[in-house]
Structure 1
Amino acid sequence: MAEYKSFKPDWAPEKNDKAFACSVMDGIEGITDTTVGNINPQLEKGRRKPIRKLVLPVEEYVNGVAQGNRMVLSRAITLIESNNSDHFAKAQNVLQQLLPRTGKALRIGITGVPGAGKSTMIEALGNMLCNMGHKIAVLTVDPTSSVTKGSILGDKTRMGTLSRNQNAFIRPSPAGGTLGGVARKSRETMLMCEAAGYDIIIIETVGVGQSEITVRSMVDFFMLVVLTGAGDELQGIKKGIMELADAIVINKADGDNLLKAKVSRGEYERMIEYIRPATEGWQTHAYLCSAIKKTGLKELWKVIEIFTKMTKEKGSFQKRRENQLLDWTYSMIDEHLHNLFFDDPVITGRMPEVRQSVLTGKISPTQAVAELINLFDIERAAKRHSGIF
C-alpha cells in the first residue's frame, strides 16, 4: 500500500506563519497508520457501506414503485431512459407488471414561450395542490446540451419549494432532440409515476413551436401560458398552438402589468371565437394568473376540475385516452422501423454513394429511395434487433 507523503515546494517559507496561503487540517484522531486503506476507521470494523447496485432486480423495481418509494421510482425511470437493450427488456417487464396501477391520474400539459413563467407557475400550482392532499409528479423536458447530452435549463432547481415537498416528485429529462421537446420515454415515465400513486401528472415542455403539438397526444388537459405585450397574439395563431389549448393562461398579471394583462385577455377571447375548440364540447377561454402573487390559481384549478368532470360524462375523456394509446403505438412502430432501416449495415454502406448521387443530380430522390428500399431486407435487420422486441 502506498503511503501519504508531504512535500514542501521551494517557495515555501521556513516557518509555519501567516506567510502560508492555506492551512492543512489534522488527521482523524487516533489513526497512526496512514495507508490508504486505514484512513477511515469504519473500514477496519467492517462497517463499510455496501456497493450500490446499478440495476435492481425486477421485483425490487415493481415493489418499490408500488410502495411509492421515490428513490426506486427515480432508478426505474433511469432504467426506462437507458438505450441499453438489456435495460430495455427489464424496463418493459417492470412496466408490464405495474400497468394495472396506471391510468388513474389526471395528465396536464403546460407549454409556452421561454420566459412566460411556466416553472414558477407549476411550482405555485403544485404547492397549492399538495396542500389540498394531492400527490403531484412534474416531468420537465429541458433542451439538451450538445456537449454533455444533459438538461440545460435545470427546471428542478427553479422549483425549490416544490422539490422539497414530500407529496411532489420532479423529474427533469433532456429532450434529446425529440420532436416536440417531449423526451422519447416521457410516456413510460408518466405511467411509472401513476403506478407510484401520483394522481396529478404535469408535463412541462421546452417551448412553443410547430413541433410542440406532440404534447397534446400525451395529456388530458393542455394549457398554453403566454405573456402580455410579447407578440404572442400573432405567434400563437401562426404556429397553430392556440387551436390545441384547452385554456390560455396569461401569467404575470400583477402590479403595473395587471391592466395590460386584462387587455390581452380580451384580445385572446376575440381570437378564440375564430378557432375550433381543442376538445369537443369544451369552449376554450383565457384566464389571468400570477404565480408570484398566487392569484388566479384556485380559479384555474376549478376550470380543470370542471373540464375533467364534463369530458368524462360525455365520454370524450376516455375517447382521447384511447386515441393517445393508438398514437403511441403507431409512433413506436415508426421509430422502430426507422431504426431498423438506418442501422442496417447494407444501407449504411450504400448510403454515402446514394447521397452523393442525389446531390450531384445523377438520380432523383425518388429513385434513391427506391434503390435503398430494394436493398433493405427486413428479416436481416430484425435479427440484429431481436433482443429489443
Structure 2
Amino acid sequence: MSEIADRLVSGDRAALARTITLVESTRADHQSDARALLTDVMEHTGGAVRIGLTGVPGVGKSTLIEAFGTFLTRQGHKVAVLAVDPSSTRTKGSILGDKTRMGALATDPDAFIRPSPSAGTLGGVTRKTRESLLLCEAAGFDVVIIETVGVGQSETEIAGMVDVFVALMLPGAGDELQGIKKGLLEHAEILFVNKADGENEKRARRAARDLEAALHLFTPTNPHWQPKVLTGSALEGRGMDTLWEAITAHRRAMRAAGAFDARRREQQVGWMRAMVEAMVLERFKASPAIRSALPGLESDVAEGTLPASEAAERLIALWTKTRFD
C-alpha cells in the first residue's frame, strides 16, 4: 500500500485507476487495504474544486463535461471526472459508456475519466464516490467533477459532498415549474440552461428568466450565495467561461464568509456517519443468525401473519443478542 500511495501522489494514472478499483471492491481484505491507503494519502487531499453536476437524461451532461473539461485543461487545470452510470435493477449491470461520450476529454493527458456503476445506491452517486474523490485529489487533480446518473430529485445527496452544485436544465421543458420544486433545485447553486443554440436560443433565454423568477419563491439554502442562472451551449462550447466564473465566484463568496471550511468539515462528519450506517447494515446482513431467521420472518410477513414492524424488531433483537452475548 505504501508503494501504491507513493505512485498515486506522484500522479500515476494507472495507480489512480487501481486504487479506485480497490476502494470500490467489496472484499474485506480490499476494504482494509483501501482504508490504510486513504489514511496514508489524506494529507494530500482537499485542494481541488469539487463540482457536482446533475440534470435529467438528455440534458447534455456528458457533452457539457467534455466542453467544460477541455476548457479547463486549456487553462492549465487538471480535471478528474467521476461519472456514475445507473445499474440495472434486473441484471445489476451498467453500460459505463461515459468515455465514449467524451472522446476528446478521455484522451486529454490532463484529464481523467472514471465511470462507476451506481450499484443500487440512491442519491445519484455510488457508495464509494467520496473515497474516489479523495484519491483524485491525492493524485494532483485540482478540479473534480462528479456527474450523477440524472434520475431526478433523489440526487440531492451529491450536495453533501461537493463545494458547488450545478444543475443543467433544458430550454422549453417546463423549467418555470422545475424551478419551484423542492429537492433537487432547492440545493442547486448554479443553474445552467444548456442547448442554447439555433432555434433553442430564445427558448433558453426565456427559460432562464422563468428560473430566475422561480428562485425568488424560496429561501436560498446558503445565506452567502444567491443561485445564478446561466445559459450556454455545450455543443458549441459557449458559456464555459461564464460557468467557471460563477463557480470561482461562489468559492470566493464562501471563503469570504468563512463558510467554505465549515461546509467541508460538516461534509467530513456526514461521510463518517454514512459509512457507519453502511458498515452496520453490511454486518447485520452478514450475521449467520440473521441469515437463518430472515427467510421464515419474510414468509410470515408476506403471508400477512406477522406485521413488518414486529419482524424488524425481532431481527434487531436477535442481532443485538448475538453481537453482545
TM range (shorter): over 0.9
CA distance in 2, matches of 1:296, 1:277: 24
Q: CA deviation at 1:233?
A: 3.6
| 2:209 is aligned with 1:266 | yes
- Distance in 1 (CA, whole Å) between partners of 2:266 and 2:178 is 28
Counterpart in the other structure of 2:30: 87
Q: Note closer, same or farther for the CA distance 1:149–1:364 as it changes in structure 2 (3 Å cut).
A: closer
Residues 199-218 of structure 1: matches in 2 within 5 Å?
199-218=142-161
Question: Structure 1 residue aligned with 2:276, among 323, 327, 333?
Answer: 333
Larger radius of gyration: 1
User: 1:359 offset after TM fit, Å?
Assistant: 3.0
2:46 aligns to what?
Answer: 103
Is 2:223 the partner of 1:283? no
User: 1:300 matched to which residue of 2?
Assistant: 243
1:319 and 2:262 equivalent? Answer: yes
Q: Which moved more, 1:336-345 or 1:254-263?
A: 336-345
Q: 2:16, 2:91 → 1: CA distance?
A: 24
1:193 to 136, 143, 146: 136
- Give 1:191's aligned amino acid: L
Give the whole-Å Cα distance in 2 for the aligned partners of 1:268 and 1:314.
Answer: 26
Deviation at 1:234, TM superposition (A): 2.5
Per the TM alignment, residue 148 of structure 1 is displaced from its structure 2 partner at its CA by 6.5
The CA RMSD measured in Å over matched residues stands at 1.8
Q: Secondary structure at the match of 2:149?
A: coil
Larger RCO, structure (CA 8 Å, separation 6 or more) = 2
Q: Give the conservation status (yes or no) of the 8 Å contact 1:341–1:381.
A: no
Q: How far is the alpha carbon of 1:291 from its aligned partner?
A: 0.8
Show the counterpart of 2:17: 74
Residues 182 and 205 in structure 1, CA contact (< 8 A), matched pair in contact too: yes
Letter in 1 for 2:124: G
Q: Count how many residue pairs are aligned between Structure 1 and Structure 2.
A: 325
Identity %: 45
Structure 1 position 208, deviation (Å): 3.9
Kept in 1, the 8 Å contact 2:96–2:116? The answer is no
The AA in structure 2 aligned to 1:190 is L
Q: TM-score, normalised by structure 2?
A: 0.95
Deviation of 1:59 (Å): 2.3
Residue 53 of structure 1: aligned partner: none
- The letter of the residue matching 1:214 is E
- How far residue 199 of structure 1 moved from its aligned partner, in angstroms, is 0.5
Give the unaligned 5+ runs of structure 1: 1-57, 383-389
Alpha carbons 2:52, 2:162 under 8 Å: kept: yes
Deviation digits for residues 236-279 of structure 1 (CA, Å, limit 9, x no counterpart): 54352111000110001011110111111110011000122132
Shift of 1:379: 6.0
Q: 1:203 & 1:122 partners in 2: Cα distance?
A: 10
Which position in structure 2 is the counterpart of 1:368? 311
**Contact 2:166-2:190 at 8 Å conserved across structures:** yes
Q: For 2:123, what is the secondary structure of its paired residue?
A: helix
Alpha-carbon contact 1:358-1:368 (below 8 Å) kept? yes
CA contact (8 A) 1:272 1:285 kept: no
Structure 2 residue runs of 5 or longer lacking an equivalent are none
